[in-house]
Chain A
Amino acid sequence: MITLPKKISARGHDCVVASVTMVCMYWRQTKQSLPWNLPLGFGHEEWSNFYEKGRTYVRRSGMPFNNIRHYLRTLDLPLNAKQELLEDAYGLRNLIRRNIPPIVLYDRNYFFKHERGIGHAVVLVDQTEEMFISIDPSFGPKYIHKLPKTDFEEAWKLKGNATVIIYPKHYKIKERKTPATTLMEYIEKGGQAG
């Protein structure tokens, strides 16, 4: 299980910034040998400034993922950020196994009520046979939210399986592209993509 050293409570569009901050704190704690310009004490003012600065990148339409990269770059952190539309949950399981906490974007409205709604970002920290364990910034002070895999995957797929990966710069994360529509799906739909 990935242990996030500090949890941050946030609502609305701030869930992305809160998740990014929590993951940065995680890397700060686990990769102490990297050239950090932020202190190890997470109660320090610099971390709250870090979060507040992140919030300034949030727009009415949400937090553009390009802004996360820009934000990390301006702070000169030894971390990279990547936004990917993953093929399936295998990628998530793989990341959790390697102790890289993925930030996933899923349709929480659909997850709870089966109605399409706004995307919500959470950090996945563990998995069981049937569940993903997430740290959800909107569920403070409890934070832990267990997501049944099948329901989560449906709600996640509605947001294009969008995942943000924040990782140390020396890690190599490669993408292997697979068609969005598999041959079987293509045939099932009578030869029409999508």
Chain B
Amino acid sequence: MKVTLRVQKLDRPELVAYDRILRRYGAGCYPQKPQEEEDHWKVPVGTFLESRVVDEKTNRERILTFNLRNVGEILVNKSTMRVLTATPLRSLGRNILKKRAEISHMVEQDLIKILGKPEMNIRFSELKYALTGLQPIYRTLNRLLLGDYPSYEDLLSSGSHYVEQVELIVDIGYADYTERRPAKLIATNKIKELYSQIGDMERTIDIVLGMILSEFYYHLQKGMRVAQFVPYVRASTGYYGDAIQFGQLISISEDRLCENVKEYYRGAPMPPRVRYAYPTIVRELVDAQILKYDGHYITGRADIFEKLIDIRNELPVSEEPISFG
């Protein structure tokens, strides 16, 4: 059988680029507006990345697409209208991951800021494994509230990393060194007032820990290499990230949460020695009042979610016309 098809002549840079996109990248990508250069056209490539969010309790699924721009580029020769160079598929895939990671980072950053707010009443001391890495801060806060003011030499004798962490309390203004020698670390009026308002030492420490984490999380993680808190933040982001995309609090299983974290942080290395079991992480996050149990499922806190939901408008996301439920 013979069939003749009338096909378009590739005489426009965006058409040449689109033909290349379909052949080498796939239908998820699209050519952006071509830019004219000396002897060629530069066609940036954007991509639509699909994301599925499921509320496992009600069995409803929403399909969203992220519109990620400038994930690659195709150069088209002006005289021959052929592709000069194009981003290889592997690099394009990496760029897509990077852009996706930027979005996860946005959610993570906002979540950390919110968790650090005193009115959220997060009980950070319930995150037992995280506290192992933050012992210098935790112990020092304890001593300060008990009126046992350590000298600088005393702190230094535990190691420079110990002092570095303690100085974060100084940085947020809840402790200070005396000017008189030998220098001592003393509680400031700020922490004393907070303690007298709260009237509970554990709760006061939780609030200060929250402030430090919200302010210095990335410094602690990358600069001081204190990574014990990372899995908790990732698990929380994995949950709230999906809830934000869904547009309301959802109920998901532990396995789904684990999958979410893998998806959100694909390519991001997990720091060594912090691979905690998910049942433990979830239980502690529930104890810390960051997540909640909903029968066999995991759900979030409405007040945290309400403070986060505004991010949804900033995400380059649109909902597929067909969602399932």
Contact = CB atoms under 8 A, between A and B. Distances in A.
A109 B318 contact: yes
B3 A174 contact: yes
A24 interface: no
Given A61-B26, A61-B92, A61-B93, A86 B9 contact: no
Given A61-B29, A64-B26, A172-B1, A86 B50 contact: no
Interface of A: 11-13, 16, 58-66, 83-88, 90-91, 94-95, 98, 100, 105, 108-109, 111-113, 115-121, 138-139, 159-162, 165, 170-181, 193-194
Contacts of B65: 109, 117-118
Interface in B24-50: 24-30, 47-50
Contacts of A58: 26
B311 interface: no
Given A12-B63, A61-B96, A172 B3 contact: yes
Contacts of A165: 5
Q: SS class of chain A's interface: helix, strand, loop or mixed?
A: mixed
Q: SS class of chain B's interface: helix, strand, loop or mixed?
A: mixed
Interface in B1-35: 1-12, 14-15, 18-19, 22-30
Contacts of A116: 30
Nearest to A111: B321
Query: Max chain B CB contacts within 10 Å: which of A64, A95, A108, A172?
Result: A64
Contact of A176 (B6, B27, B93): B6
B28 A65 contact: no
B51 to A, nearest CB: 9
A60 B93 contact: yes
Contacts of B71: 61
Contacts of B47: 60-61
Given A108-B321, A177-B7, A177-B9, A64 B25 contact: yes
Contacts of A193: 11-12
A37 to B, nearest CB: 23
Nearest to B21: A61
B52 A194 contact: no
Given A64-B89, A113-B321, A180 B10 contact: yes
Contacts of A13: 26-28, 50
B18 A85 contact: yes
A161 B318 CA distance: 23
